[in-house]
Amino acid sequence: MATKLSDAKIRDLTPPDTGQVEHADSEVPGLRVRIGTSGARTFILRKRVDGKIRNVTLGRFAPRFGIVEARRKARALISDIEAGKGVQPPKAKGAVAARTISGMLPDYLKAKAHLRSHADTKRILEGYVVPELGTRLADTITRADVTTLIDKIAVHSPSRARATHAQLSAFYTWAMPRLDRLPANPCRDAGRPEKPKARDRVLTDDELAGLWRIADAEPAPWGPAVKLLILTGQRRSEVFGAEWSEFDLAAKEWTVPPERSKNGIANIVPLSGEAMAVITALDRPEGGGKVFPARGAPENGASGFSKLQARFRKSLDEDLGREAGPHWQMHDIRRTVATGLQKLGIRFEVTEAVLNHLSGARGGIAGVYQRHDWKEEKRAALNSWAISLREIISKGLENE
């Protein structure tokens, strides 16, 4: 007898002593959850296909694949079957499997392997698209399907939803010549969140001094890493993912390699005396490795930035004796450093070189002929910034 299944009911199902037991869902005809003696719960769809009853496996019950997702997937599969577009059977191989999004994805990723964004493309498509649409035939996806997916992601992260929309659209641009029955890119008219306004948040001197005091009290990796952010203006991913092999302490230089820089160009970051003090105070294991390793997994860089930012925001408000100051995030430190350099009268092109931006004197045709690396100018700029930062911190201590 069919009943309205829920995640709670599925979790409470008792495994049988032998064999398997199926529980039918009253909401979607043919949708069932199967539970075996091991306790594993699997969604299946029982449907007549080409005159034969078939059981199509939808996926294993899991935190990210519950009854709501199973119903959505089952309805989409029923729609495909009734439209005569076929269905991918369990463990299917060959032509049908090759036409699904999951089946086409390896060829797409191989075609885009030369791009710097390849890792992000793979992460987004495999992490957000495949769980929802992977088993669907690529030429049956509609703009409504895409909109539903993007809306679901946007609830938690509008920027991630926009990135997913862009990556899926790029996939379909590549796939269109390979799909005879698809009239247009389904992402073209699908909904997506509005592009966020460009941030212009810059930390005040009091906030910068307070942030330094908080970082000073934080153990590694967090405290020293945030200090290096403040002293160098480099990107969060570049600082937290830094390797000891990138540092030449004798030359007082840190070289961010092209494979870790956003624009694919190596960046030599001269280290001020204050930055050297931060680096040399850290434990350096034999054989190198990560400068700011994750606890319990030293082969990986530190992570957990959402919790880190929330903790630092709360601590900064407490340090400054305020209820809740204007929202800020770690990337705003980089903008604060750039603004501080401009206040010191540092030439714009030197500031751009410090940040490793390809614009102005380093962008377009100018960048083709302008090959100066600005290393000495960057060293002078970052030394001046370190001196200014010392004054800001000292003034903050006097005002406490």
**Predicted confidence (pLDDT) per residue in 72-108, tens digit:** 988 988 888 877 665 554 444 455 557 889 999 999 9
pLDDT grade, residue 343 (50/70/90)? very high
Of 48-57, 261-270, 274-283, 342-351, least confident by mean pLDDT is: 48-57
pLDDT higher than 70, residue 312: yes
pLDDT grade, residue 324 (50/70/90)? confident
Note the pLDDT tens digit of each residue in 223-243: 999 999 999 999 999 999 999
Note the pLDDT of residue 365: 41
Q: What is the largest CA-CA distance in the chain?
A: 84
As a whole number, mean pLDDT of residues 18-28 equals 89
Mean pLDDT of the chain: 87
Three-state secondary structure readout of the chain: CCECCCHHHHHCCCCCCCCEEEEEECCCCCEEEEEECCCCEEEEEEEEECCEEEEEEEEECECCECHHHHHHHHHHHHHHHHCCCCCCCCCCCCHHHHCEHHHHHHHHHHHCCCCCCHHHHHHHHHHHHHHHHCCCEHHHCCHHHHHHHHHHHHCCCHHHHHHHHHHHHHHHHHHHHHCCCCCCCCCCCCCCCCCCCCCCCCCCHHHHHHHHHHHHHCCCCHHHHHHHHHHHCCCHHHHHCCEHHHEECCCCEEEECHHHCCCCCCEEEECCHHHHHHHHCCCCCCCCCECCEECCEEEEECCCHHHHHHHHHHHHHHHCCCCCCCCCCCHHHHHHHHHHHHHCCCCHHHHHHHHCCCCHHHCHHHHHHCCCCCHHHHHHHHHHHHHHHHHHHHHHHHCC
Note the pLDDT of residue 303: 81
Is the pLDDT higher at 267 or at 298?
A: 267
CB within 8 Å of 333: residues ≥ 6 apart: 203, 211, 226, 229, 230, 233
Note the pLDDT of residue 59: 84
Note the pLDDT of residue 91: 45
Note the pLDDT of residue 55: 84
Note the pLDDT of residue 95: 54
Is the pLDDT higher at 93 or at 268?
A: 268
- Which span out of 31-45, 137-151, 238-252 was modeled with the highest average pLDDT? 238-252
CB within 8 Å of 130: residues ≥ 6 apart: 101, 102, 105
As a whole number, mean pLDDT of residues 176-180 equals 87
pLDDT higher than 50, residue 362: no
Note the pLDDT of residue 166: 94
| 29 φ/ψ angles, rounded to the nearest 5 degrees | -60, 130
Note the pLDDT of residue 115: 83
> Amino acid identity, residue 5?
L
- Record the pTM: 0.58
Inter-residue contact 356 to 263 (CB < 8 Å): yes
pLDDT higher than 80, residue 399: no
Note the pLDDT tens digit of each residue in 282-300: 999 888 899 999 887 788 8
List of domains in the chain: 1-83 (3.30.160.390), 92-196 (1.10.150.130), 205-398 (1.10.443.10)
As a whole number, mean pLDDT of residues 140-158 equals 89
